[in-house]
Structure 1
Amino acid sequence: MKRKLFFFLTLLCGILSAQVTTLTGKVVDQAGNPIPLVNVKLRGYAVGAVTNFDGEFVLPMDEVLPVTLYFSSVGYETVTQTITSSEKQILVTLQEGTDLDVVILSASRKPERIFESPVRVEYYGTREIKFTPSIDYYSGLENIKGVEVLSNSLTYKTVNTRGYGSFSNTRFVQLVDGMDNSSPSLNFSLGNLVSVSELDIQRVELLPGASSALYGANAFNGLLTYTSKNPFDAEGISAYSRGGVTSQDAAGTNPFYDVGIRVAKAFSKKLAVKANFTMFRGTDWFAVNQNNINNPSLNRATDPNYNGVNVYGDEVTLNLPGIGFVSRTGYQEIDLVDYEAESVKFSSAIHYRPFEDDFEIIYNGRIGRGTTIFQNANRFYSPNFFLQQHKLEIKNNNFFIRGYITDSDAGDTYDTRVAATNINNRWKDNETWYAEYFGTYAAAIGGGATSEQAHQAARAQADTGRLIPGTPEFQEVFESVINDPDFTTGAKFKDESQLRHVDANYNFSHLVNEFADIQVGGSFREYNLRSDGSIFTDADGPIKYSEIGVYAQIQKKFLDERLKFTGSVRYDKSQLFDGNYSPRAAVGYTLGEKRNHNIRASYQTGFRNPTTQNLYMGLDLVGAIAIGSAPENLDRERRDFDLSTQGTVLTGQNSVTITGRDAFENSYTLASALAFSSSADPTRLEQASPELVKPEQVSSIELGYRGKFDDFSIEVGGYYNMYQDFITSEVVIVPLYGSVGSLTAVQAIANGDFKVYNIATNTAVDVNSYGATVGVESSILRDYDLGVNYTYAKEDLDNQNQSNFQSEFNSPEHRVKVLFGNRNLFKNFGFNTSLKWSDSFQWNDAFGSTEVPSFTVIDAQLNYRIPKLKAALKMGATNIGGNEYYAGIGTGFIGSQYYIGLSLNNL
């Protein structure tokens, strides 16, 4: 018995001693610098570790030596090393790879080398983030080939690919740890306002084409996914502080600062938590463009109907008998906005692994608050906006199921154009102002004045006593207007809408003996619109509607795993529309003895549901009444209008009620109304016949090649997009009395008794586009990195059947970007520079149209690493040379930024 007990204890001790075998080591690059966040995996077992800031790792295991370890990191070639002893520290050197060595997740919802991706994917990782020559990593996305970053303001920028985007880009989706960060009411992504802190970002992946087959509605012209760091893999406290100045001719030189901190701790193999906080404050780009939209060659002094780009309230105009159109005197944007820019972001996460393996339960919460300017049909100043997201996710390597809620609060947001109009109205109503103008003009002409002199005298008289910015009287009325959510008297943008979303995915490849990679998934989304009738037609209660979708994908390799086929299909159904299928098929083939060349071809489809505003808006934007075209919205949108004296004589009514249905069933086209106005010929009037809005679809053919050579890599790709039922807006003219085609309706248009409506519909115009990208990356003179890429984009538009249609393509035909730098020019010191050139192009959106001139932007940064302090010092400048430029109409010209920053322990 004693011998048996002794044998058992000896065996137990042997087992316990095997369990405490620990491997330690360090991973460095070719220059001897430590590489953090290197994955160290034990071949054949679910055992691994991650290197820390100093490139060091500790790997406990219970396997018997010798063992084989894999060392892999984004941007470096994978190294395999056999370990025979645990007594000596392991030293591993990783050689830098190319972007084609990166493993990505977004293209097929599974890990795969970007080199073998079935569609074009761009990757932006920790290395690119650290060394971006841009002011921050989000702005640095513009260095990616085929990507445009449109600067709407200092704190709000919009990412776009392949055209058909504006500052409110509803055709592009951004996912933050799987959560769509678009506003439930605005329907476009809030981008860097609520994205991931640069301290917590692990990877950014971009799919520039249609992605609806796997990601559903609105993943239409592009998809951007952010993945944050897991606190199990990236522990510790890291921080950064950055400050400097912005420089702009209109705003002068103004300071800004940007700080952030990340705290992460793995309390055990089961529980880890993290929290992030960032704050940015500065002064936004001033928008002071006073060019006349009606006629750029004329100004306020020479054009009675002047309408300045960044002057608001002058959109109100009236055709005075014998005089012509006269607009009211407006206010400049700088009189209505203080240009404070602020962004405060907080996020936290709890990760729980109950079985100490890949099964993980995650809570993730994100809060964004700040002050910014965003632009749609009008310019909105948004102090104290607030958006929060909360997600619960359960996942392992084979599946995930997640649910999240997005809750928005517009805060103190107001419409600058509506504010200016109602400030004017509160001081003096239109009837009084125009009566004074008309009487003074007629008297001046009768006294022998010229027309120009008469106009000057008339405006001076009508503007007598006008509220002047900076005075207490103006400020009192201004504060009252911007806090009033009734757009007939105020300008406050009231919104507390919500979005609820659930999606799931399961990969069956581990169950089918690797026959093929098979995935299925689905999603459910519900909107809850709450604006109390200020934006949507929800005065009687919130508006709810939902969407559901399911998908499946199969992926299989053939011919010694050189040929890769991917096929997927998705079915989506909105409660408002018929169901929609989105198939995708792709094939790729890897060539060469070293498997360093790949060609691919794909056919993809995408669709975009009409936005919440396309469906349920009911908002008077001064120039036009914007309404959504959901069937139930047409009767819910009702407005009462006072009739003119002539209207009363013709109809016997003192007022009339116009509904949204009138805009679709009793209206004239804008072009015909303008023709009638200039000719007085009633036969020129044509009835408008818009259809109710329905989902938009795209079919895309894409070809591409990727190649890796000794000293450089190259990627070439091209696409052709074909759109069906392209969603657009149409302006129609609704007479306040009479049916279209009757003499009474003609008289209403002649008398000016009509209302302008902007409605959501689909165009009959054939809309297509095509383009290509070429990118080359190389190491030259041994240590210098050079990247050059070129993007070509062109719209193929048959506009013969609808001459007033504007597609908002908004993309230059040619773009060139160059990156040049050296991360180790000498010990611990590096630099990086970028040059971006954009061709001139025509910009069209709901705000207006303009010719955007070509521009060249140069950014640069210097960085110095301090290993003993685990710190890095960075200084740089954007738009060196200060040649101010702009991306589209309405925004402030973009000047320069100069900065210096320090980061600590940033893995």
Structure 2
Amino acid sequence: MRISIFTLCLLWGFFSYAQTTVSGKVTDENGMPVSDANVVIAGKTIGTVTDTGGMFVLETSENLPFTLKVSSIGYAPVSVTVTSSGQEVNVRLQEQETLLNEIVISASRTPERIFESPVTVERFGIREIRNTSSATFYDGLENLKGVDINTSSLTFKSVNTRGFATFANTRFVQLVDGMDNTSPALNFVLGNLVGMSELDVHSVELLPGASSALYGANAFNGILFMTSKSPFDDQGISAYAKSGITSQEAAGDHTFYDFGIRMAHAFSDKFAGKANFSYLRGTDWYAVSEEDVLNPGATRADPDYDGMNIYGDEVSTNIKGVANSMVAQGLLPDGAQNLVPDQIVSRTGYAERNLTDYKAESVKADFALHYRPFADDFEIIYNGRLGRGSTVYQGANRYALRDFFIQQHKLEFRNDNFFVRGYITAEKAGDSYDMRFTGINMNRLWKPDEQWYGEYVGAYLTALQGGAGFAPGDETASHAFARQVADMGRLEPGTPEFKNAFRQVTGSPDLANGSKFQDNTKLRHIDVNYNFSHLTGSFADIQVGGSFREYVLNSSGTIFTDYEGPISYSEYGAYTQVQKKFMDERFKFTGSLRYDKSQLFDGFVSPRFSLGYTAGQDRNHNFRASFQTGFRNPTTQDLFIGLDVGRAILVGSAEENLDRYVRTYDLSDTGAALTGSPTMEVSGRQAYERAFSARSVQAFTASAEAGAPDPSLLAVADVEKVKPEKITAFEVGYRGQLENITIDASVYYNQYKDFIANETVVVPFYGALDLSDPVDPGTGPVPMALIALSQGDFQAYQTYTNSSVDINSYGATVGVDARVFGNYDFGINYTYADFDFDEDKDPDFRPGFNTPKHKVKASFGNTDLFENFGFQVNWRWSDAFFWQASFADGDVPAFSVFDAQFNYRVPSLKSTFKIGAANIGGSEYFTAVGTGLVGSQYYVSWVVNP
């Protein structure tokens, strides 16, 4: 009997489902439609948003009567009672400073007001996109509090929060409609390369700090969510066209243009589709620094000069050893080597501007099919995204990404209570190449190192002994003459010979003679989530979910050690979350727990707990506190890379990788005599198990150059294989609404353990590291390892490991937004960020915090200064800070930037015209050492919306 009654209840629930339909329109005080307004059933997570015409349709099984809450950023919320199906609801919103009433989903995977979010969350919606003074909406994210954007290129911006990031920001995740935008091989997001057109953006939400409890590995220092518009809700054809100039002292003025189109249509209440296309082309910021990387202040007059944006001069050798070899071969008379100094000499390099055309290009296309088989909230979605671009990426070297291509394909089943999504991300490197190795191998293609150095030494001796019209003994003039002779007939930029050599080198993926990237890496991912709130009612909001990911590395041995075929491995995770409100819904508890397991590492549990309390008679003060843990799995490169970047070889620390990466080196004549072989094979394992620390080798070399070599300075490197990195994060915050003033403030403290870091080591090709094997080369007994170091018989390796010290970071943000002088919008925010660690416990650790200690940002504008006319001005100031990365270290000076835009709306044309500028005044700046200075960008745009 009970079973029968239960069955009848289920059937009644099924047939009564989605029986109430409510439609209507939302407008502002002037009768203009308000798009993307939230229309939500009070006390529920059921709702919809208005389209660009302010229209909405909501279908629900909620029993009548019920209350709709209508809200939109910048307006006071309105409640409307619905008493019958088919009721038409027309709502007029009054402007008000209500930033904290916006609905976000990312903080808890369920709709909730920013005001009540358990953690810090930033939102960038339709209104902000329309009013941004930046040239693109993605650039506009830089005006959010707590956010840094590192600019590598006009088309490649790297978002960062809370420090510890380079352009390869592997601690930050970006999701586009639920798909991870990370490049599977590079392990970081390439800005908005395969993201969204600004026409299709519904909202952007950003969670700074750890989010592993809900989003798994790598949601470590922040996560960015971009959600697109539904073709059911936002229909029609919209388009934009934008053009202007970029202006930089080094590059001059260059035209750029950017246009896009969006088409969406609901063919019925069951089927809808959309397509987007956008194209941007311009000229990148030229990188022209000639600062000596290893010896600041030096110029090309220094024989061992290594310019920052000069490539090919990384190749260097001790010409004393060259002279010894030439004497042994009978190419120089005996004793000539005594006239050659113990001097490192580098080859002459090419400027970066001669090795790239600085083309910046982004082509994005996406299409989606949405099917609602029952004409209710159950939806099946296919989404495909394609992105192709040309940009400059700075990692260990500077890379010209040419026609770099990423595609994503997703199939998703969802309704208001659950989703199941699976997607695949695949990439191709296109015609991308390493600019440093382009310079190195163009030099070698023209003239091999052995020949060039032989000519250098011969010319040096000629000049030193008074030949060729030089005064005898003038070492400076002799070096200059030697370089001139060795460079005679060198390939000159712009000549056919130079262009042919460039094509040959950049077309070969073998770094012994080429510089091309070759990559077809993929990742596959599945996410599931179920929210039981419709079953648990007022008891609690309970969610469960999980994920699975598989990497398939396929670089044909050019990046990874996948010489014999693709490398694959997987990871999975599962989580649950409980939310509960108490005390007249003023007190809110959120608890989450997640377990993750990588095929290569032990499992990890990451809990999160938060408490929130809403105070005040008007419920306009909210206090929050949270504790959460997070973790980050080592990246594909941390594990499986095997790549020579010139100054060092990068070798991943996966156990199977250590023996797979093997390289054969030519020994010096002395080394060959000692070992009995002209060559030596060295595996990646020796970098982790048989090496000196680079710091100690530098100290020893300095003592030798000072005439007092001290072997006791040498220290054996103690490098452990990399394992997951962990974080424990504490945060407290306050949000308040005081009439026309909104306040949002937070303070955080992070504790890192097993911080993933790089350590550079030096592997001598022969000799015991404890210096217990002295031999007599004719000057007395010398340990063989010291001979290897003196003869250049060694190789620097960059290893992937974990720091043994505890690292802490901490900071605070505060933002104030207000309506002033009637209807003007004013906002200002401040961010503080810093870190500490005990350097004495790990002197080789390079933290790479790369974040200014102080940042201030402000905005001022009016969307309706007068009828249909608005403007926005943004200003941001960044404190000076120290940049530390594998390409180069150095100071980033403080900078201040003004952006502004003026817009005019023409309702009869459904158009908005905008004129704007980024970095007004042209005070050039940079956010990372080694990049081009960021100049000014001036633009005009025309946006048409239905």
TM superposition score category, shorter chain reference: over 0.9
CA-CA distance at 1:71 after TM superposition: 2.8
CA-CA distance at 1:41 after TM superposition: 6.1
CA-CA distance at 1:28 after TM superposition: 2.2
Partner of 1:5: none
Amino acid at match of 2:390: T
Structure 1 pair 69–216 and aligned structure 2 pair: CA distance change class (3 A): closer
**How is 1:420-819 mapped onto 2 (pairs within 5 angstroms)?**
420-447=439-466, 448-678=472-702, 679=704, 680-741=709-770, 742=773, 743-819=783-859
Partner of 1:137: 137
Amino acid at match of 1:681: D
Structure 1 pair 67–587 and aligned structure 2 pair: CA distance change class (3 A): closer
CA-CA distance at 1:82 after TM superposition: 4.9
Structure 1 pair 575–763 and aligned structure 2 pair: CA distance change class (3 A): same
806-815 or 37-46: bigger deviation: 37-46
Structure 1 pair 663–706 and aligned structure 2 pair: CA distance change class (3 A): same
Partner of 1:373: 392
Paired residues in the alignment total: 887
**How is 1:77-226 mapped onto 2 (pairs within 5 angstroms)?**
77-82=76-81, 90=90, 92-226=92-226
Amino acid at match of 2:813: T
Is the contact between residue 97 and residue 818 of structure 2 (CA under 8 Å) also seen in structure 1?
Answer: no
Amino acid at match of 1:500: R
CA-CA distance at 1:89 after TM superposition: 8.9
Partner of 2:11: none
Is the contact between residue 209 and residue 220 of structure 1 (CA under 8 Å) also seen in structure 2?
Answer: yes
CA-CA distance at 1:711 after TM superposition: 1.6
Q: 1:859 aligns with which of 899, 902, 910?
A: 899
CA-CA distance at 1:681 after TM superposition: 2.7
Partner of 2:779: none
Is the contact between residue 378 and residue 414 of structure 2 (CA under 8 Å) also seen in structure 1?
Answer: yes
CA-CA distance at 1:756 after TM superposition: 0.9
Structure 1 pair 59–219 and aligned structure 2 pair: CA distance change class (3 A): closer
SS of aligned partner of 1:649? helix
Partner of 1:319: 318
SS of aligned partner of 2:818? strand
Long gaps (5+) in structure 1: 1-18
SS of aligned partner of 1:635? helix
CA-CA distance at 1:65 after TM superposition: 11
SS of aligned partner of 1:160? strand
Is the contact between residue 766 and residue 799 of structure 1 (CA under 8 Å) also seen in structure 2?
Answer: no
Mapped to 2, the partners of 1:775 and 1:204 lie a distance apart of 18
Q: Deviations over 1:249-275 (max 9, x none)?
A: 111111010000000011111111000
Mapped to 1, the partners of 2:913 and 2:752 lie a distance apart of 48
SS of aligned partner of 1:191? coil
CA-CA distance at 1:76 after TM superposition: 2.8
- Provide the TM-score with structure 1 as the length reference: 0.95
- Provide the TM-score with structure 2 as the length reference: 0.91
Amino acid at match of 1:766: D
Is the contact between residue 652 and residue 800 of structure 2 (CA under 8 Å) also seen in structure 1?
Answer: yes
Structure 1 pair 614–90 and aligned structure 2 pair: CA distance change class (3 A): closer
Q: Deviations over 1:388-434 (max 9, x none)?
A: 00000111111111100000000000000011101111111222212
Partner of 1:416: 435
Mapped to 2, the partners of 1:64 and 1:801 lie a distance apart of 65
Is the contact between residue 220 and residue 632 of structure 2 (CA under 8 Å) also seen in structure 1?
Answer: yes
CA-CA distance at 1:682 after TM superposition: 2.5
CA-CA distance at 1:572 after TM superposition: 0.7
Partner of 2:338: none
Structure 1 pair 681–53 and aligned structure 2 pair: CA distance change class (3 A): closer
Q: Deviations over 1:817-865 (max 9, x none)?
A: 0010000000000000100000111000111111111000000000111
CA-CA distance at 1:294 after TM superposition: 2.3
Whether 2:387 is the aligned partner of 1:363: answer no
Is the contact between residue 155 and residue 191 of structure 2 (CA under 8 Å) also seen in structure 1?
Answer: no
CA RMSD of aligned residues (A): 2.2
Partner of 1:271: 271
CA-CA distance at 1:513 after TM superposition: 3.0
Mapped to 2, the partners of 1:111 and 1:90 lie a distance apart of 23
Structure 1 pair 471–77 and aligned structure 2 pair: CA distance change class (3 A): same
Q: 2:881 aligns with which of 809, 819, 841?
A: 841
Mapped to 2, the partners of 1:760 and 1:199 lie a distance apart of 41
Partner of 2:335: none
CA-CA distance at 1:92 after TM superposition: 2.3
Amino acid at match of 2:313: D
745-754 or 26-35: bigger deviation: 26-35
Q: Percent identity?
A: 56
652-661 or 852-861: bigger deviation: 652-661
SS of aligned partner of 1:510? helix
Structure 1 pair 299–825 and aligned structure 2 pair: CA distance change class (3 A): same
CA-CA distance at 1:62 after TM superposition: 12
Is the contact between residue 66 and residue 81 of structure 2 (CA under 8 Å) also seen in structure 1?
Answer: yes
Q: Deviations over 1:650-685 (max 9, x none)?
A: 011121111001111111111221222222333322
CA-CA distance at 1:324 after TM superposition: 1.4
CA-CA distance at 1:73 after TM superposition: 3.0
Partner of 2:412: 393
Is the contact between residue 27 and residue 94 of structure 1 (CA under 8 Å) also seen in structure 2?
Answer: no
Partner of 2:323: none
Mapped to 1, the partners of 2:911 and 2:352 lie a distance apart of 42
CA-CA distance at 1:518 after TM superposition: 1.0
Mapped to 2, the partners of 1:22 and 1:676 lie a distance apart of 79
CA-CA distance at 1:30 after TM superposition: 2.8
527-536 or 470-479: bigger deviation: 470-479
Is the contact between residue 96 and residue 740 of structure 2 (CA under 8 Å) also seen in structure 1?
Answer: no
Mapped to 2, the partners of 1:148 and 1:29 lie a distance apart of 34
SS of aligned partner of 2:452? helix
SS of aligned partner of 1:36? coil
Mapped to 1, the partners of 2:876 and 2:567 lie a distance apart of 44
Q: Deviations over 1:762-799 (max 9, x none)?
A: 11132111100010000001100000000000111211
CA-CA distance at 1:454 after TM superposition: 1.1
Is the contact between residue 314 and residue 329 of structure 1 (CA under 8 Å) also seen in structure 2?
Answer: yes
Q: Deviations over 1:308-352 (max 9, x none)?
A: 110011111112332411111000000100011110000011111
Partner of 1:16: none
Partner of 1:13: none
Partner of 2:29: 30
Partner of 1:10: none
Is the contact between residue 176 and residue 227 of structure 1 (CA under 8 Å) also seen in structure 2?
Answer: yes
CA-CA distance at 1:151 after TM superposition: 0.9
Mapped to 1, the partners of 2:544 and 2:366 lie a distance apart of 30
Structure 1 pair 703–484 and aligned structure 2 pair: CA distance change class (3 A): same
Is the contact between residue 153 and residue 284 of structure 1 (CA under 8 Å) also seen in structure 2?
Answer: yes
189-198 or 411-420: bigger deviation: 189-198
SS of aligned partner of 2:493? coil
Mapped to 2, the partners of 1:719 and 1:64 lie a distance apart of 43
CA-CA distance at 1:40 after TM superposition: 4.8
Structure 1 pair 64–382 and aligned structure 2 pair: CA distance change class (3 A): closer
Is the contact between residue 37 and residue 234 of structure 1 (CA under 8 Å) also seen in structure 2?
Answer: no
Structure 1 pair 881–649 and aligned structure 2 pair: CA distance change class (3 A): same
Mapped to 1, the partners of 2:23 and 2:374 lie a distance apart of 25
Mapped to 1, the partners of 2:426 and 2:145 lie a distance apart of 33
Mapped to 1, the partners of 2:75 and 2:642 lie a distance apart of 54
CA-CA distance at 1:74 after TM superposition: 4.1
Amino acid at match of 2:846: Q
